[in-house]
Amino acid sequence: MAEITLEKIVSLCKRRGFIFQSSEIYGGLNGAYDYGPLGVELKNNIRDIWWKEMTRLHDDIVGLDSSILMHPRVWEASGHIQNFSDPMVDCKQCKARFRADQIDLAAPCPNCGTRESFTEPRNFNLMFSTHIGATSDAASKIYLRPETAQGIYADFKNVVSSSRVKIPFGIAQVGKSFRNEITTKHFIFRSCEFEQMEMQWFCAPGTDEQWFEYWRAQRMAFYQTIGIRATHLRWHRHGSDELAFYAKDAYDIQYLFPMGWQELEGVHSRTDYDLTQHQTFSGKDMTYLDPVTNERYIPYVVETSAGLTRNVLMALSDAYEEETLDGGDVRTVLRFHPLIAPIMVAVLPLVKKDGLAEFAQTLEKELRDEFATFYDESGAIGRRYRRMDEVGTPYCVTVDYQTLEDKTVTLRYRDSMEQVRVPLADLVTTIKAATKAYTRTGGEG
Ligand code: ATP
């Protein structure tokens, strides 16, 4: 089995239009990425499945889309202005900046090799700031949100009073967050502009531990839904040195990325800390009156916080395989679960002539309503299959001469490369059934 490196994934992403470096024609911008034609489909698919699971398939969760720019007091209340920082050192020689906890301060500078060139560690706030309005004085200073969660807390009362939610319930949100990360290596794993999928679950004090376990199980199960190998996922419980001072308990779901085990999502038991802080700083009442018991309390919060863009890197890393075929050929294949594949069905005429192209084009248009489709008529059929393998298309439908005679097509499965003859009338149901029953086969399994 060939080694899977991040470099191989980065190269495929650029070559096939998944992910590009931002502003590449100007030399690129560190920590910022563009999602190309296939990347945006993959990202949206993961986002949509998360959203559906959280909101539509869950009785007690409603959605929210709060703004990126918020009142600066929000970040005082949340503790981000005071505490959201990493200890940094600068090399006095080459001016490179490092996280003090990620390098050996006794060793030479990793960038220029100078010895004893580091400044004392200084705290460096990770929030991007800008100014709102016409003036740019201290009073107009605002921040780009470093997480989506605070928008949920700030709107807690609005949601309770405008919808029919009763505790326990959740508010889900997907959106951009920004952090001035100094160490942005590992591609999109840690970027300055990224997307999060967060859900805050509000519950009665005393029920939080049970909900914490419930949400841990739910969140791990989600990754099975999108086809991630269980062997590449594990839990990491925060030790006392990692736990935020207000947190009761916290676990990370870690994924085995090409560069090792790393955090993918956090499930955190946050007590009543956030709502209490906002009550104190805003002077607005954040309590909830339980209609059944008539008790008034500030709800406890269990948070599930996943990186959407980090999920994209996980999906690519999990799917990537270089498979040696009988005869020695190697094919690059992305074994995406069909539900997240950017293209689900490719329609290919065996040859362009004799009406096959027109037939295939019409078929492709008919299938658009059901699936994300793609039409390709250029090059030998074997080459076209390989191109589809490389972008993770689970089903290829080939129109040939027999199709014109008996209205059947060849359905080729990406993982097994098996080809079956399917009547056109059964094509949609066959693909849907295969998707429902999908388990990854071939290669590493
Ligand atoms: P780390 O320790 O990796 O900096 P964190 O513990 O600060 O992450 P959280 O604040 O808990 O992360 O954010 C929740 C999720 O948001 C993370 O699990 C991750 O998936 C995602 N995330 C956080 N920072 C970034 C980033 N800079 N780039 C991409 N995704 C990120």
Cα-to-centroid distance, 21 and ligand 1 (Å): 20
For residues 266-293, give the mean pLDDT. 96
Sign of the CA dihedral running 66, 68, 74, 75: positive
Residue 166 has pLDDT above 90, yes or no: yes
Q: Is residue 288 part of a domain?
A: yes
Cα-to-centroid distance, 307 and ligand 1 (Å): 6
For residues 1-18, give the mean pLDDT. 94
Q: How many domains does the chain have?
A: 3
Model confidence pLDDT, tens digit, residues 45-68 = 999 999 999 999 999 999 999 999
Query: Based on the domain organization, do 111 and 173 belong to the same domain?
Result: no
Q: Whose CA is nearest to atom 8 of ligand 1?
A: 263
Tokens at 361, concatenated: 């084009």
Residue 266 has pLDDT above 60, yes or no: yes
Mutate to test the pocket of ligand 1, among 85, 263, 269, 270 (most ligand atoms within 8 A of CB): 263
Q: Is residue 181 part of a domain?
A: yes
Q: Would you report the helix, strand and coil content of the chain in percent, each value rounded to 5?
A: 35, 30, 40
Cα-to-centroid distance, 91 and ligand 1 (Å): 26
> What confidence category does residue 182 fall into, taking pLDDT thresholds of 50, 70 and 90?
confident
Rounded to whole angstroms, what are the CA distances from 442 to 152, 304, 386, 416, 417? Answer: 43, 33, 15, 6, 9
Rounded to whole angstroms, what are the CA distances from 92 to 101, 113, 146? Answer: 18, 12, 29
* pLDDT the model gives residue 332: 97
Model confidence pLDDT, tens digit, residues 62-98 = 999 999 999 999 999 999 998 888 888 989 888 888 8
For residues 106-116, give the mean pLDDT. 92
Q: Is residue 444 part of a domain?
A: no
Query: Based on the domain organization, do 270 and 158 belong to the same domain?
Result: yes
Query: Based on the domain organization, do 50 and 194 belong to the same domain?
Result: yes
Mutate to test the pocket of ligand 1, among 190, 308, 311 (most ligand atoms within 8 A of CB): 190
Query: Based on the domain organization, do 64 and 90 belong to the same domain?
Result: no
* pLDDT the model gives residue 1: 64
Query: Based on the domain organization, do 371 and 231 belong to the same domain?
Result: no
Where is average pLDDT lowest: 243-247, 287-291, 397-401?
243-247
* pLDDT the model gives residue 242: 87
> What confidence category does residue 99 fall into, taking pLDDT thresholds of 50, 70 and 90?
confident
Q: Is residue 238 part of a domain?
A: yes
Per the rule left: phi > 0, alpha: psi between -120 and 50, beta: everything else, 187 is: left
In ligand 1, the atom with minimum distance to the C-alpha of 262 is 3
Q: Where are the beta strands (DSSP E) in 80-164?
A: 85-90, 97-99, 122-125, 129-131, 141-143
Cα-to-centroid distance, 177 and ligand 1 (Å): 10
> What confidence category does residue 123 fall into, taking pLDDT thresholds of 50, 70 and 90?
confident
> What confidence category does residue 442 fall into, taking pLDDT thresholds of 50, 70 and 90?
low
The domain that holds 157 is classified in CATH as 3.30.930.10
Cα-to-centroid distance, 167 and ligand 1 (Å): 28
Query: Based on the domain organization, do 156 and 261 belong to the same domain?
Result: yes
Q: Is residue 1 part of a domain?
A: no
Query: Based on the domain organization, do 90 and 66 belong to the same domain?
Result: no
In ligand 1, the atom with minimum distance to the C-alpha of 311 is 20
Residue 32 has pLDDT above 80, yes or no: yes
Q: What is the number of residues in the chain?
A: 445
* pLDDT the model gives residue 389: 98
Give the structural domain span for 101.
86-119
Query: Based on the domain organization, do 107 and 191 belong to the same domain?
Result: no
Model confidence pLDDT, tens digit, residues 187-226 = 999 999 999 999 999 999 999 999 999 999 999 999 999 9
Query: Based on the domain organization, do 212 and 265 belong to the same domain?
Result: yes
Rounded to whole angstroms, what are the CA distances from 77 to 65, 137, 280, 284? Answer: 20, 21, 8, 13
Q: Is residue 201 part of a domain?
A: yes
Cα-to-centroid distance, 30 and ligand 1 (Å): 17
Cα-to-centroid distance, 372 and ligand 1 (Å): 30
Q: Is residue 402 part of a domain?
A: yes
Query: Based on the domain organization, do 235 and 372 belong to the same domain?
Result: no
pLDDT > 70: percent of the chain: 99
Pocket of ligand 1 (CB under 6 A): 147, 179, 181, 190-191, 194, 196, 263-266, 305-307, 309-310
Query: Based on the domain organization, do 304 and 367 belong to the same domain?
Result: no
In ligand 1, the atom with minimum distance to the C-alpha of 189 is 29
What is the residue-averaged pLDDT of the chain? 95
Q: Whose CA is nearest to atom 18 of ligand 1?
A: 265
* pLDDT the model gives residue 85: 82
Mutate to test the pocket of ligand 1, among 78, 178, 183, 194 (most ligand atoms within 8 A of CB): 194
Q: Whose CA is nearest to atom 16 of ligand 1?
A: 307
Residue 444 has pLDDT above 60, yes or no: no
Q: Is residue 304 part of a domain?
A: yes
Mutate to test the pocket of ligand 1, among 305, 311, 312, 317 (most ligand atoms within 8 A of CB): 305
The domain that holds 360 is classified in CATH as 3.40.50.800
For residues 236-253, give the mean pLDDT. 92
* pLDDT the model gives residue 445: 41
Query: Based on the domain organization, do 98 and 154 belong to the same domain?
Result: no
